[in-house]
Amino acid sequence: MDWASWTTVNVFAGRGGVRTEEAGSITGDLTVHTTWTGAEARVSVQYSGSSDWFTLTGSPLSCTSERDSRDLHDVVVELVRAGKATEGLPPILAA
């Protein structure tokens, strides 16, 4: 089975924070992590330096290539920084 993962630390969430399944909205200095399993990408966040991970609302997303999952990770990091993940992952990313 193919898999890959990426982690970006010290991502300061823009206004409104990030919507998660387990904790609702979280804000501040976050770490964004994406794991690709060959068929889907799972995106989670944590407060930087914490041990608890939270699933971004809208995750997992269908994703069939490692390159696409890396691109998805980069897009999610930018959405978090821009404050555009307040409702979770935008539906357009699921397309």
Residue with token string 């990426």: 6
| 43 pLDDT more than 60 | yes
Tokens of 16: 């409104």
CA separation for the pair 62, 13 (Å, rounded): 24
Each residue's pLDDT tens digit, 44-84: 999 999 999 999 999 999 998 999 999 999 999 999 999 99
Domain limits, the chain: 4-85
Banded model confidence at residue 92, pLDDT cuts 50, 70, 90: low
Q: Give tens-digit pLDDT for 6-34.
A: 999 999 999 989 999 999 999 999 999 99
Task: Round to whole Å and give the CA distance between 82 and 25.
Answer: 15
pLDDT at 47 (0 to 100): 96
